[in-house]
Structure 1
Amino acid sequence: MLRGLDISDMLIIDRLELGFQPGLNVLTGETGAGKSILLDSLGFVLGWRGRADLVRQGAEQGEVTAWFDLPPGHPAHAVLEEAGLPAGDELILRRINTSDGRKTAWVNDRRCSGEVLRRLSETLVELHGQHDDRGLLNPRGHRAILDDYAGNARAIAKLREAWHALGAARKAAAAAAAEREAIAAEEEFLRHAVAELDKLDPEAGEEAALDTRRRQMQGAEKIRRDVVNAYELLGQGGAETAMGDALRWLDGVADKAEGALEGPLAALNRAMVELDEAMSGVADAIDGMSFDPYELEACEERLFAIRGLARKHDVQPDELAGCADTLRAKLDARDAGEAAQEGLEKAVRDAQALYDERATALTEKRCKAAAKLDKSVAAELAPLKMERAVFQTQLTEEPAGPEGRDAVSFTVATNPGAPAGPLGKIASGGELSRFLLALKVCLTQTQSGLTLIFDEIDRGVGGATADAVGRRLKALAAEGQVLVVTHSPQVAALGAHHWRVAKSVTKGMTTSTVTPLAAEERVDEVARMLAGDTITDAARAAAEALLNGQQGATTS
């Protein structure tokens, strides 16, 4: 509930501080007095998009503060919590507009964005007028209005769950199908690659071992001839033969040399032993260097085959065995994918069935609520002298979405047999006002916590019709708060609280003032509304009768 509004330096308002009350609050005044400026200022502090030139001429900045009662459970608490803003039993909004167009906003003394203000405003205030495109005249919001009226929040939440589950199931099935198609496209390559790898059957470490063996064989081929030549020089006909002959010659004359040859003979014997060991080692080396030429060819072929496959699959040679397993797993996945795909497709069908079931149930609830709303609006139109008009809530099918498959629009036909059309295009100004009021009376039964503002919604009606409009506004205000900008004396007389908006010029400066009216002052204001600028005794008497009649109707 709006409790107060403080305005400084906005358009022709110098400084105003207004305190509002529960019930029906009426604002009256001559055309151009500044009533719309109050609504512009309230819309500014609520973050609504409106006129840009709001700062009073000559002022550096304009400022508006609004404060609201915020009982526990009010929807604004959720907005404050999500935005990380402090909350309590009072909500204070403040917004400044500098002369150069910069805007700054605070919520409970914390800086915030205009978007947060707008989200808060949706829970605090609802504006209705002949040219309002934020509320009942905006077809894009009609489905949400009908759902609020029907109490469909839980059903919509369940349907939204089903929609998201359906989307997830479709995504999983599509991804699996795409993967299967990709595998199928390369199936021939995969099967060939697996067969090729299985045939080669490479092992980890094999490439390094083959490379070592190949280098050994290539090296042995180059040095074996030199080693054999060396062996031949050491063996028979070479060093061994020469040393043997020398040893025999020396041994034959040693006893005649009186010991001079004992040392040389001993050294030769040792040399013969060393030579034998050397020859044995060289012989072993020759044996080790002996290989089948075909072995080198086979070794090279396998080594090159392993390295070639590694390059082909862009892996290290030691990773080829794992590569074969990976490719084989892809083939296995394709073979198993057909059964898995069927399971995913079944999940899509099940999710679609659940969505269809819940969407159909929601459509049925909307149809029942639409019929009920149409009947309720028709009952409200009769006292407003529009008993021949027809209001209809139309449901048409639209593409499925998270909130169902229904498009909702409010249509009217002002006379029997006349074509129905959108609410804002078919009805005239006065008719539109009454349609909006009747609709709002019906819808407000399901809403709470909103301050309702009606901007000249009684335009174009008078007499008994204006009285009926006022009584419905008063009924709306019985359990909450309604602010009405009105030119109708019948409506003004029904207000529980009355303010007069007036314009004055002081020292060449035009300013607007808002004055709360006492009982006697209300008589003069209603008389002005009845008679014009010149208030006659008859007009004053009529105003007293009108006010007394409303008070009597209130107490009876």
Structure 2
Amino acid sequence: MLRTLHIRDFVIVDQADIHFGPGFTVFSGETGAGKSILIDALALTLGGRADAGVLREGAARADVSAVFDTPDHLRAWLADREIEAEDELVLRRVVDPQGRSRGFINGVPATVAQLRELGDSLVDIHGQHAHQSLMRADAQRDLLDTHGGHGELRGTVAQAWKTWRERVKQLEAAERDSASREAERERLAWQAGELERLAPQPGEWEALQTEHSRLSHAQSLLDGAAQAIEALDGEEDSASNRVNAALHLLQQQLRHDPALRGVCEELESASIAITEAVSDLNNYVSKVELDPARLAQAEQRLSDVFETARKFKAEPETLPQLSANLRQQLDALQAAGDVDALRKQTEAAQADYAKAAAKLTAARRKTAKDLGKLVTQAMQTLAMQGGRFEVDVGAGAPSAQGDDIVEFQVAGHAGVTPRPLAKVASGGELSRISLALSVIASSAARVPTLIFDEVDSGVGGAVAEVVGRLLGELGQRHQVLCVTHLPQVAARGGAHYRVSKAESKGTTQSRITELAASDRVEEIARMLGGIRITDTTRKHAREMLAN
């Protein structure tokens, strides 16, 4: 529910803080006082169009905030966008003199699309020219779906339609590009086959180079190892003999100077290290073999890998990854070019769409009977006695909105065959039917707040009383705000605001005032009697409020 509307420097409103309660609230005032400005200001916070024209003359910026109770079903939406979900939901819009705007949700910067998405779940606005939109087939369909609560079914149909169209495009592309795709497939298959025959393994190129170097220098490695063993532990002048001799001499001198103990320990370590090195070299020599056959194999493998890499203009070590990439490309191309499989997927998607669309059609036809009955009943009280309203749900071309063509038909008098609304309804009849549709469809709306901006234009007398009663009844189920010029409607309000206009310091300003009981009498009397208010009109106003 809308709790508060804060307006700063918007059109001719310098500052206004309006607090709302549940039920039916009305706004009245003389023509040109700025009654609809309130609706425009609220619409701005809900993602409406912004331009420099909304700024009050001489103001630095227009600033409008709307405070709502936070509906439970929107808390997850807020959490997904990292917006703290408090008990109050504050939507704010600021517009500068260049027409640039900034939006905020609970103080967090937000896009216009996000404001609009939230607004669709919070407020439903019926403008004073709403009856004109009833001429459009899409508006008639949307109103029928709103009344029937078909949102989930429509979402399923839209998704099924999207999937079906995507499959159709894939199939058409596969059939259109089959020749070029086959050539590409053959090229990839040849390349993948070449690499699969070579079967390069990760790390193989480096290992081959190391092995080839060892095999090609095997004799040199053996000779070098043997010479090193002789130098370290030969019978004649070897490193082992020299270290041991030095150690023996110093050990004899220890009794004269203990400071030599550290040097002796180092020589003992050196002797042990030489012994271990000699052991490791002997072990190495026992394993190194002269293997011309294996050397030839390694040379051939190196040559094969190198030539293949040169053919593919790649580095030898990258061939394993290249092989995997080619196989993936080939698999993807084969899947995309599998016309039979794509045709089956397209047929399955079409069947899914047809099933979803059929459910939506059945729901629409059921709702059409209910809506036709309710509007027909309302017409009898709106000076259209004997009239009849019907909703025709006919077959149409498949689309994201289903297979149906929805057409509102009306008979203004008894005994007349209903015909399309746009062709037979007069302006007054169209306005009354639009109002009945708005009220009836809004009864099933899931949004908490409904706004009617002078939708009662073109009616008066007894019909106006019926309009007021309809809106009052609607206010028992929703929060209803209504801008009106009819005293019969204003008298039904649980709360009443008067919008007035005055000049101050050379500028025109609009004021919004909540009326007390005595002030309401005066305002209703003004709406009844015009400029000159008499005791009779005041008495009539009191009677209307009492009733």
TM-score between the two structures when normalised by the length of structure 2: 0.67
Q: 1:138 to 1:341 in 2, by over 3 A?
A: closer
Q: Is the 8 A contact 2:64 2:93 kept in 1?
A: yes
CA distance in 2, matches of 1:104, 1:466: 41
CA distance in 2, matches of 1:51, 1:429: 32
Q: Choose from 471, 476, 479 the match for 1:478.
A: 476
What SS does structure 1 have at the residue aligned with 2:32?
coil
Equivalences for residues 35-434 of structure 1 within 5 A: 35-49=35-49, 52-73=52-73, 76-132=74-130, 139-160=137-158, 162-163=160-161, 166-167=164-165, 170=168, 181-182=179-180, 342=340, 344-410=342-408, 412=410, 414=412, 416=416, 419-422=419-422, 427-434=425-432
CA distance in 1, matches of 2:447, 2:471: 16
1:84-137 superposed Cα distances (whole Å, 9 cap, x missing partner): 322222111222222332322221111212222222221122211332499867
Number of residue equivalences: 443
Q: 1:479 to 1:315 in 2, by over 3 A?
A: closer
What SS does structure 2 have at the residue aligned with 1:400?
coil
* 1:522 has 2:520 as partner: yes
Q: 1:44: how far off? A: 2.0
CA distance in 2, matches of 1:89, 1:394: 44
Q: 1:315 to 1:41 in 2, by over 3 A?
A: closer
Root-mean-square deviation (Å): 4.7
CA distance in 1, matches of 2:181, 2:521: 88
CA distance in 1, matches of 2:481, 2:96: 28
Question: Which residue does the alignment assign to 1:436?
Answer: 434
Q: Choose from 482, 487, 493 the match for 1:495.
A: 493
Q: 1:472: how far off? A: 0.4
Letter of the 2:492 counterpart? L
Q: Is the 8 A contact 2:411 2:418 kept in 1?
A: yes
What SS does structure 1 have at the residue aligned with 2:381?
coil
CA distance in 1, matches of 2:431, 2:132: 15
Gaps of 5+ in 2: 201-306, 316-325
Gaps of 5+ in 1: 205-307, 317-326, 551-556
Letter of the 2:115 counterpart? L
Q: 1:529: how far off? A: 0.8
1:357-402 superposed Cα distances (whole Å, 9 cap, x missing partner): 3322322222222222222211122111123444343434444234
Letter of the 2:502 counterpart? S
Letter of the 1:547 counterpart? L
Q: 1:406: how far off? A: 2.3
Q: Is the 8 A contact 1:454 1:483 kept in 2?
A: yes
Q: 1:35: how far off? A: 0.8
Letter of the 1:37 counterpart? I
What SS does structure 1 have at the residue aligned with 2:457?
coil
CA distance in 2, matches of 1:202, 1:7: 76
Question: Which residue does the alignment assign to 1:24?
Answer: 24
Letter of the 1:53 counterpart? G
CA distance in 2, matches of 1:203, 1:410: 71
CA distance in 1, matches of 2:19, 2:10: 18
Q: 1:192: how far off? A: 13
Question: Which residue does the alignment assign to 1:3?
Answer: 3
CA distance in 2, matches of 1:399, 1:378: 29
User: Of the two, which has the highest radius of gyration?
Assistant: 1
Q: 1:78: how far off? A: 5.0
Q: 1:55: how far off? A: 1.5
1:136-191 superposed Cα distances (whole Å, 9 cap, x missing partner): 67643443443343343444454455445545655665576568645767999999
CA distance in 2, matches of 1:20, 1:103: 26
Q: 1:342 to 1:476 in 2, by over 3 A?
A: same
Q: Is the 8 A contact 2:11 2:54 kept in 1?
A: yes
Q: Is the 8 A contact 1:127 1:134 kept in 2?
A: no
TM-score between the two structures when normalised by the length of structure 1: 0.66
Q: Is the 8 A contact 1:126 1:135 kept in 2?
A: no
Q: 1:42: how far off? A: 1.7
Deviates more, 1:489-498 or 1:77-86: 77-86
Letter of the 1:522 counterpart? R
Letter of the 1:101 counterpart? G
Letter of the 1:405 counterpart? D
What SS does structure 1 have at the residue aligned with 2:384?
coil
Q: Choose from 428, 444, 451 the match for 1:446.
A: 444
CA distance in 2, matches of 1:187, 1:450: 58
